[in-house]
Structure 1
């Protein structure tokens, strides 16, 4: 069969995010999927492990569609389980059209289960199926729930009050490296290693460095604490000679790391030299400095925490 004639799998993702991080979620969505949804649901041909994103709740790999629930029930009788056990989960669409109450949802799950030729197992099923009412119709597909890995990473041995929180750090990594295959990344101001932990936990090829020798043992311990391995070097950003596909730079801004606009320019000019793409996290306006360093701004988002606002800027 010609590849053009092969049917592509549709994936349905549901999202959840704090209002203060709506902009960041949208930028991560554009980076991972190439489009942005105006709701908390996205349909795409792009397959992403939902655990990668701090905002994706679940993924449905569509197998069957029906204009009505009855249409769907007829189609799913073709499901072949080959002896595997299963469980059916009703996936709420979260929009204004979601009118099904708890009992109604459980009834639909049972009805779907009765039409699947196999044994249900509610505790430890071999396969999970999701059923969803979307765009006026019904779909059934393989269901995968996201695991909040970033949340577990909050319990690292060393942390700074001004460091990125793990959810934001994970989103920034996805924005910087949406397709990890063959990509070499660097965090040249890695600090306590928050970005490194998120990237390494996703299998991304990344190295870290920092010019502050006092902080590096803590970064290395944080990485090892989660059973990860990664290279963390003592180096000033201006002395980096290797070339990387992308750099993630959380510009220093606390009272111990005050840097002038001239120093910011020098840092970014260095990054321009050794990296093809840069994702900058900043608490100050730096558009002019980025342009002076030779970067074009491709996309951006804001992430707020109370009165504190960070900007995430994608540059090439």
Structure 2
């Protein structure tokens, strides 16, 4: 059986299932219902608000004992620690108890040529059982540093949540090399902060000088650098690969349907594609503006939901 290059594990709330799967489709070109996805695509797990870890598969076997035997071929030049990931149900594979996980870790770890280190290892070696197959390789855990972005110095109640904003950036720009990105209605900069923190260059713009001031302060507060311009979307002169727009709506900005349509028409003018986040269905407006829906989901939070619509 061919080994996947990478195995990703996920943790998400049931309300986030659709959003998580849309992010999977952006990253990998496919999605799964389960909390594990296998792919040959390498993604930094810290980008996703849902990824728990990435396993770079080095060896594969049909039993834990066989995996341990294959581990004798591994030589680690740095201190290492083995970690069995089956501390929860994974893609239908039942959780392995604590004592059995420790046994698997010891059996594999003792076969690896290198320096075991429990407290401060340089390399983590992950072990995972999925159905009747066992895998081991380098383990990269997702960083939770981005959680700090939830507490910005400038905020307002209807701004996008950090998790949604981060997933939206990943859906819009899964592979950012050479991609030009703009958020032309950036508000206090929630999307900007998430993009910039992932190393994705993005330009911000908003017609409201007060929120532009807030977005600039938020970006600087997290030690990031980005450009945020004051001005209406109609004054955007350059062209972009994608625009990310959290559509203004009447709960905060007192915008008309005509005003929303104008935003979409302007975005169509300067962007090849667009990710729209909206509290109401905008299919008719999108069609009038000349967009075609490529993918979509509902991002739920309790009784409140937003549509996330990727358009080309």
TM-score bin (small chain):
over 0.9
In 1, the alpha carbon distance for the partners of 2:154 and 2:208 equals 15
TM-score, normalized by length of structure 2? 0.96
Match of 1:20 in 2: 15
Match of 1:148 in 2: 144
Query: Contact 2:91/2:130 (CA < 8 Å) preserved in 1?
Result: no
State the 1:37 CA deviation. 1.2
State the 1:254 CA deviation. 4.3
TM-score, normalized by length of structure 1? 0.95
Change (3 A) 1:9 1:305: closer
Match of 1:86 in 2: 80
Structure 2 residue ranges without an equivalent (≥5):
none
Query: Contact 1:64/1:141 (CA < 8 Å) preserved in 2?
Result: yes
Aligned residues, how many? 309
Structure 1 residue ranges without an equivalent (≥5):
1-6
State the 1:106 CA deviation. 1.1
Change (3 A) 1:36 1:300: same
Match of 1:3 in 2: none
Instruction: Tell me, yes or no, if structure 1 residue 45 matches structure 2 residue 40.
Output: yes
In 2, the alpha carbon distance for the partners of 1:290 and 1:36 equals 25
State the 1:9 CA deviation. 6.0
Query: Contact 1:282/1:312 (CA < 8 Å) preserved in 2?
Result: yes
SS in 2 for 1:276: strand
Matches within 5 A, 1:163-182: 163-182=159-178
Query: Contact 2:93/2:131 (CA < 8 Å) preserved in 1?
Result: no
Match of 1:75 in 2: 70
Query: Contact 1:302/1:312 (CA < 8 Å) preserved in 2?
Result: yes
State the 1:80 CA deviation. 1.2
Deviations 1:83-109 (A, max 9, x none): x11000001253442242111111111
TM superposition outliers: structure 1 runs of 4+ over 4 Å: none
In 2, the alpha carbon distance for the partners of 1:109 and 1:74 equals 13
Aligned-residue CA RMSD in angstroms?
Answer: 1.3
State the 1:220 CA deviation. 0.5
Greater shift, 91-100 or 125-134, is seen at: 91-100
Match of 2:304 in 1: 308
